[in-house]
Chains A and B, each alone.
Chain A
Amino acid sequence: MASIAKSRLCNTCLRQVVSRSSWLAKSSSMITRHSYATTSHNDQPFRMAVVGSGPAGFYTAYRVMSRIQQAKVDMFEALPVPFGLVRFGVAPDHPEVKNCQDKFEEVASSPNFTFIGNVAIGNQGDHFRGCTIPLASMMRHYDAVVFAYGASKDKKLGIPNESELRGIYSAREFVGWYNGLPEYADLAPDLTQGEDAVIIGQGNVALDVARMMLQNVDVLRKSDITESAIETLSKSRIKRVHIVGRRGPMQAAFTIKEVRELMKLHGVFFHSIDMALLPDELSKLPRARRRLMEILVKGSTSRLEHSDKSWSLDFCLSPAEFRGTPEGRVQNTIFERTSLSSPFDPTSSVQNLSEKLQIPSSVVFRSIGYKSVALPGFTEAGILFDDKKGVIQNDGFGRVLQTTQDRVASKSELTTLPGAYCAGWVKRGPTGVIASTMEDAFSTGDAIAADWAAKVQFLNSGENHGWEGLRTEVDEDACRVIRWENWKNIDKAERERGLLAGKEREKYTKIGEMLAAGR
């Protein structure tokens, strides 16, 4: 037994072991194994709240629980279901990316971990029907709080008719919709108005959106994509997808895996790119950029005459205006051509030219990035939020910054706010794959453990009881708090629904359904 408890189980084994009743005991010893920080200050265990249950929150919790003996972590999630963008962002046809959930399950199965779902902190979000706990109330019960709530808004283009015309969606809405995010369950995007789709932005989200429209629906049918998305996509008339960016291929944000997938789609042709935007000798480029450019040059495996759908990467175009039908539907997007100051430099600046170009647009997706917003209560708590960058100001390791007055020098300076930390997109901005969020969350976790070991000041010096203390201030029944075992019920019910439909899972897309299944 001892040897099993000591060994780290791989994810596949974990799935088998998780079901065993003795698992809790094992996982607790497993998670605390690497401890180096002292157990407690004044013999109290370290109590940490995590706001958000996506990869940043879970990986930070995991790191802290590995590094601080008997650390107790409470994770708050506004929705009844965990995993954030792993559930609602990762494309349904990338199930392997979701395997990181196995690690999160492992963390959650520790007796030192408490999931508090359907409870929002500070902010009563757009998609929220649980209870909202003011930030200040929550912070009173913990040694530390980690903000890992990600980026819940999206950036706007700020061009004429963007908000007025129908048929213009944000990629966030569309991705949320096909992944069953309750906020967008009723989006019902219209893909039947014509054959041309325009996606503005050239990141991986843009490529995901394109793939959903270009991919054979039968491939998606087996994934955990929602049934309503399948229905809409199978009625889609879209044949041509333009993925438009202001800069060139050398500056593009997409990564090679996503491009390769599109290039390999059966019966989908890729219109070749403007070769003038590429250096003559690709072989001299750094490895990653070289391989990406080579694949763009090589193009799709399907030839035009054998393809019924196609896509293109349209570079050096800056959106200027949408034009619509008299009925108020988007019809065309007007772009201004741009010029790169240094086309082969990945950091090249770009300038709009006066020449304009029109691309027919039966539907438009705006995919120019997500944005984090401050939680209500940040100002009162002294937490600095950079509205321009959409991040919590931090020291680079995830320690939240505050402004303090230096009375001697009579000036203000930035110092770290004791006990406040951040991780993931709200810390460094909304970019990067799960691996980068993991690295980032680990650095925050290491900072927390180092601070605890160094016995620096945390949020509250007295005895903290975490959720056990906080819940006395909350009407838990009225709140319909979802604990981990409730989530497991939802999970089971979704899998059973999926089984009937011949797929991995059929997600609930309404909060009410989730709550009912979680009972």
Chain B
Amino acid sequence: MVLNPIQSMGRYSQLLFKAFGAVPEFGTYRKKLWEQMMRIGVDSMPIVMLAAAFSGAVTTVQTSYQLVSPLIPKSIIGSIVVPSMILELGAVVTGFILAGRVGARIAAELGTMRVTEQIDALEAMGLNSIGYLIVPRVIAGIVMFPVLYVAACFVGIGGGMMVGHLGGFVPIGEFVDGAREFFQPFDPIFGLIKSLVFGFTITSVSCFKGYYTAGGAEGVGRATTQAAVASCVFLLLADLILAATLL
């Protein structure tokens, strides 16, 4: 029992190692990459933007609710909402949504292929199944997550600004002034690094869970659930490690 997680860790590393080994022959599977980028990135855009807009708006409303002291200028709302969006919410909200949306789909796809022996068929045809199935997904995750992160921040900050303005909490000018007052150019870079790591974590963990599915339809269901849950857990872990090391 105790050895189980360590064993999984080992298998996960092995899979990653093989995937990196398959990168040189990646040119063969490039078409797959565009398809995965489309599914992971572009198709996720609406839900990510929706969630980000709401989280930005809610952060603004709640921050202005908590700021009751007349000594604190309203522009502080901007200096709280923008960094929290850029540093944390933009990446983590996107990550959670994609852990559910992308992680579950990857695990279900690969799991079904595994239990219906399609992966074995690929191998029998002489294709490198890891290079064909896993590498495009992981690379698509690494490339598209930062893109989604940028969209989330853009919409989230915009949503916060609009709600602050329309709701009468803080005028746009003051919001921007406050945001500029405490803006650190490293913050968005850190957010990008975070989202890149999240993209890698979610896609690789889901691929691992899906690729090693066993036990028929039930196994596919289990792998899907585990993929979503493990993605979220490792995402939070990565979040903490990155914040502790880079900030």
A, B assembled together? no
> A residues touching B (Cβ–Cβ < 8 Å)?
none
Chain B residues in the interface with A (C-beta under 8 A): none
